[in-house]
Amino acid sequence: MATITTAFPITRVEHSRRPSVDFDNLPFGSIWSDHMFVAENVDGEWTGAEIRPYGPMEIYPSSKALQYAVSMFEGFKAHKTPEGDLAVFRPDMNQKRFNRTAGRFVMPELPKELFFDALRELLDVDRGWLPDADQGALYIRPSYFGTDPALSVVSGRSFRFVLMTAPVGLYFTGSKTVSLVTTRKFVRAFPGGTGGHKPAANYGPTMLASQQAQQQGYDNVIWLDGHEGRYVEECGVMNMWFVIDGTAITPPLEGTILPGVTRHSLIRLCADLGIPCEERRISVDELLDAHAAGTLEEAFGSGTAATIQPIDRLGLEGTDVTLAQRPDSIAARLKAELYGIQTGRIEDRHGWLWRPI
């Protein structure tokens, strides 16, 4: 592979931490690659773009990010193909969603060219951190936050964009399943809020609900709509899916649900594989009726980290529903197809892979 021509100053680490990392036992998101990309926006102008060693950075304690949660992020992955190439999965969708969230928080748009140039060069510098496909992937985390040290409740004049990468193992392996329970005490999102965007503030408030679900013997929560408390929206930090009588069903995007890249991809793959698929509201009552009728066949979550996560137990308003796990399930078929495309083992027929280096 040829080294690309760089557009940004690069300060490289003296000694890489790469040789000390056990790539056969990678945790999720706690080991970071050697370098990061940083750029500042001041009064609408981008400046100071550079690649430098990953590490601490200065920020005022009175910054908008720390005081008012003017902060957001994205997340996506790169995989190693059988030819040894680095293939990033659908970064164009993350770039567009990134700027939608920035607009919601009155933050300057990050130019598409800067986003992809920064990504290309950082991946080139830290290409040695890409795990083999059977070990995991390289997780890519763009972050963007307000650095203005003023307490006025406005977005501010100064912002920082940071791009980091982390080698991660397979999020769930083997036959790992999870259990979920509905909650009416907590609401993740509501009409007019930020549920359809990706600010950092969407995630901190979910932790208590998750903790209480675990105290009840479940892994995480099923989020219900914030208006009636009847309709399923998401699960934990993933989009939610059910299979009823052979049809895959996922709640519709109505402003309170994150438009997941994996979710969007699975809808397309359902069409490819001839799997009936519906985007529509689905109530807890409908799930209980389907379970009673014997037609509730599967439940799973989808997202960047786990890709597809099978669910074996649902706590639905006091009724425990156990779901059998089958090797020929729709979740298993979709996961195999998606992972095959992501890793270059199955034809990229939709042009989803970006190979920057």
At residue 258, does pLDDT exceed 70? yes
For the chain, strand residue ranges (E) read 35-42, 45-53, 71-73, 76-80, 86-89, 136-146, 158-169, 178-182, 220-224, 232-235, 238-244, 247-250, 277-279, 296-303, 307-316, 319-322, 353-354
At residue 87, does pLDDT exceed 50? yes
Convert 262-280 into a string of H (helix), E (strand) and C (coil): HHHHHHHHHHHHCCCEEEC
What is the arithmetic mean of pLDDT over 275-286?
98
Task: Report the C-alpha gap between 181 and 177 in whole angstroms.
Answer: 14
pLDDT of residue 357: 83
| Cβ pair 80, 131 in contact under 8 A | yes
Task: Classify 91 as helix, strand or coil.
Answer: helix
Q: Quote the percentage of the chain above a pLDDT of 90.
A: 93
Q: Cα 304–315–179 angle (5° rounding)?
A: 40
pLDDT tier, 296 (very low <50, low <70, confident <90, very high otherwise): very high
At residue 4, does pLDDT exceed 90? no
What is the arithmetic mean of pLDDT over 247-275?
98
What is the arithmetic mean of pLDDT over 158-168?
98
Name all domains of the chain by residue range, CATH numbers in brackets. 18-170 (3.30.470.10), 178-342 (3.20.10.10)
At residue 173, does pLDDT exceed 90? no
Task: Report the C-alpha gap between 234 and 256 in whole angstroms.
Answer: 9
Q: Exposed, middle or buried by CB within 10 Å (0-12, 13-18, 19+), for 92?
A: middle
pTM: 0.95
pLDDT tier, 281 (very low <50, low <70, confident <90, very high otherwise): very high
pLDDT of residue 239: 98
To the nearest whole number, what is the mean pLDDT of the chain? Answer: 95
At residue 1, does pLDDT exceed 50? no
What is the arithmetic mean of pLDDT over 168-190?
85
Q: What is the dihedral of CA 335, 122, 37, 113, to 10 degrees?
A: -80
pLDDT of residue 172: 55
| DSSP annotation of 64 | H
Q: Exposed, middle or buried by CB within 10 Å (0-12, 13-18, 19+), for 1?
A: exposed
Query: pLDDT for 17-68, tens place per residue?
Result: 999 999 999 999 899 999 999 999 999 999 999 999 999 999 999 999 999 9
| Cβ pair 133, 80 in contact under 8 A | yes
pLDDT tier, 3 (very low <50, low <70, confident <90, very high otherwise): very low
